[in-house]
Amino acid sequence: MRSLTLQQLILIGIVESSFLVAFGAVAQNTPFWDSFPRIVETPRLETALDHHANIGSCASQTDPTWGIYGQRIGSKPGRTEKFHQAGLKTISYFETFGQSYCYVAEIGQKKTEDFTPLGAGHWSWQRYSGGPIAWVGVHQYFDDDPIARPYTRTHPRYGSPGATYPDGTIATGYITSVTDPRTSRVFDALCSKDILGNLIYETYYNPEVNEIDRDTGKPRGPLDGLFLMPETRKYASLFMFKKDSACPAWIDYTRASTLMAADAGIDGMWTDNFSPWDSFGHRPIQIAFGEWSVARFRDHLKKEFSRDQLKSMGVENPNTFDIRKSLIGIAKKWGWDGENLNSPIWKDKRWLEEPLWRAYVIFKRRAGTEALEKYYHAVKDAAREAGKEEFLVAGNDIPGFSLGWPRGTLDMVSTEVTAGWGLARGARGFRLPPFGRYAPFYKLAREHAQSRFVNIWFYRCCCQMKMSGSCQVEMSGYMAFWRERHGRGHIADETSGSRPIEGDS
């Protein structure tokens, strides 16, 4: 037998383990995603067909929670129809309890559309032509923004109740500047915060706009409508706010968004952050304390603990108790300076035995599981209302960062894995063959959903850099090696057997 290179061993382990996850006969009347889902992410039908896809992730109804106005702006119904005519199912990208996109845009002139069109946006702001500016996001939906009408919460089919704070106060308008989405009460009420009560978001920049002109020493621009971020000295044109999974308004919005997408004909969603990533996070202290989480924890305390137990934990009045203030008080007793959220104090092993923190972790897990289940059922109910009895919900982040939140109320795990990422390498991670095995990762992922298949988006960019090119192998080259090893190239088919791929390289 010919000797195998390191990259061949790596790819054998990855691909074989993905195939072996789902051997067995296909039951009758199973949903389409239980017939070996060959998902190709591309807007081009030709590319999907070239790669033998039966599901096209073609971005025809994308909604990373930027409001159904943003969803309508990006809608490509003709693309969905084109894929369907070729016999493919279609899915699009959504966000579970992850990021809520909010981007700068130039308002266009309405002609025959039933919505206000846009000109330049974050991705093309270098072409801004001087027109009116708005920030497109879910705050427009809940605020019933005239610019976004009719695609707001007052829509006759895609409407929902208004957004509120936990005490019932309507979350509308702005705390300060009406031009700065970071001061929107919608985001303030519905999104994740750190333990100091600061709203959490990621910031993104248009590279062409921020490129420094050598003659002037200033950004090329245009800079209209953008925000200078002191930490980077760049101008932001896209914010991604993090959702507090304890907030029920996200379920209302999910129903509206899914109904609109299913009405437009898509067959499912790849939904990012089906996990605690953006509402409990890799560092909870920096993201786990949204207004709804803080408020609902009070109910958890009253339900789970006696009055004497609460007093022993330092909770005098559970109706007004603020977990943030109590944890801050404990941290200060241990020497925290009151500002640095990266302080070693927040990694002190004493937290593992602190009753209040343990209670909050349990509450967040329970509330998170409840939220994921409600999200799933809201999607399914909305899809059925649109006439879609089969509508795929494929969730990301599982099992790499699950923390016990997702517990099977999901159609299929479709997760991102990067070989160089911390949870996928080293002694604590799932290392690449021949140093480790990915089979446990796939098998564990399958236990978190109802499908017999697991779909992995395997990224190799970090691995390439770390291994100085030793993993730069194209999949077409690997498939040629696969044929040499097995006699003929095969991919799993809809039957219990498989179908050869002729002429592929």
- pLDDT given for residue 430 in this prediction: 72
- pLDDT given for residue 27 in this prediction: 52
The structure tokens listed for 249 are 């308004």
Closest by CA to 435, choosing from 401, 461, 402, 471, is 471
- pLDDT given for residue 3 in this prediction: 44
pLDDT of 62 over the 60 cut: yes
| 347 in a structural domain | yes
Structurally, how many domains does the chain consist of? Answer: 1
Q: How far apart are CA 426 and CA 9, in angstroms?
A: 18
pLDDT of 339 over the 50 cut: yes
Distance of CA 174 to the CA centre of its chain: 26
User: Around Cβ 54, how many Cβ atoms within 10 Å?
Assistant: 18
| 234 in a structural domain | no
pLDDT of 257 over the 80 cut: yes
Digit-coded pLDDT (tens) for 142-159: 999 999 999 999 999 999
Q: Residue 418: pLDDT band by 50, 70, 90 thresholds?
A: confident
Q: For residue 434, is the peptide bond before it cis, meaning its omega torsion is within 30 degrees of 0? A: yes
Where do the H-state alpha helices sit in 386-438? none
Q: What separation in angstroms does the CA of 61 have from each of 94, 148, 240, 342, 400?
A: 9, 17, 19, 39, 27
Closest by CA to 373, choosing from 472, 281, 449, is 449
Contact 381, 255 (CB under 8 A): yes
- pLDDT given for residue 491 in this prediction: 38
Digit-coded pLDDT (tens) for 92-133: 999 999 999 999 999 998 877 799 999 999 999 999 999 999
| 222 in a structural domain | no
Contact 505, 476 (CB under 8 A): yes
Element (H, E) at 250: helix 249-263
| 316 in a structural domain | yes
| 327 in a structural domain | yes
| 357 in a structural domain | yes
Report the range of poorest mean pLDDT among 9-13, 39-43, 378-382. 9-13
| 306 in a structural domain | yes
Report the range of poorest mean pLDDT among 306-320, 387-401, 415-429, 465-479. 465-479
Digit-coded pLDDT (tens) for 168-218: 999 999 999 999 999 999 999 999 999 999 999 999 999 999 999 999 999
Q: Strands 412-418 and 454-459, how do they pair? A: parallel
pLDDT of 498 over the 60 cut: no
Query: Which residues are 4's β-sheet partners?
Result: none
> Exposed, middle or buried: residue 193 (CB in 10 Å: 0-12, 13-18, 19+)?
buried
Q: What separation in angstroms does the CA of 16 have from each of 128, 388, 394?
A: 49, 33, 21
The structure tokens listed for 50 are 């070239």
DSSP structure class, residue 287: T
- pLDDT given for residue 439 in this prediction: 85
Digit-coded pLDDT (tens) for 205-243: 999 999 999 999 999 999 999 999 999 999 999 999 999
Rounded to the nearest 5°, which phi and psi values hold at 271?
A: -110, 115
What residue numbers bound the domain in which 332 lies?
293-363
DSSP structure class, residue 240: E
Closest by CA to 71, choosing from 241, 310, 263, 291, is 263
The structure tokens listed for 131 are 């027109």
| 401 in a structural domain | no
pLDDT of 473 over the 90 cut: no
User: Around Cβ 233, how many Cβ atoms within 10 Å?
Assistant: 9
- pLDDT given for residue 427 in this prediction: 60
pLDDT of 490 over the 70 cut: no
pLDDT of 24 over the 70 cut: no
- pLDDT given for residue 28 in this prediction: 60
User: Around Cβ 5, how many Cβ atoms within 10 Å?
Assistant: 12
The structure tokens listed for 438 are 């990915």
Contact 26, 35 (CB under 8 A): yes
Digit-coded pLDDT (tens) for 420-441: 666 665 566 677 777 778 888 8
Q: Residue 316: pLDDT band by 50, 70, 90 thresholds?
A: very high
Q: For residue 415, give every residue at least 6 positions away whose Cβ sits within 8 Å of its Cβ, in sequence order, or none.
A: 395, 396, 397, 398, 399, 400, 445, 454, 455, 456, 457
- pLDDT given for residue 471 in this prediction: 44
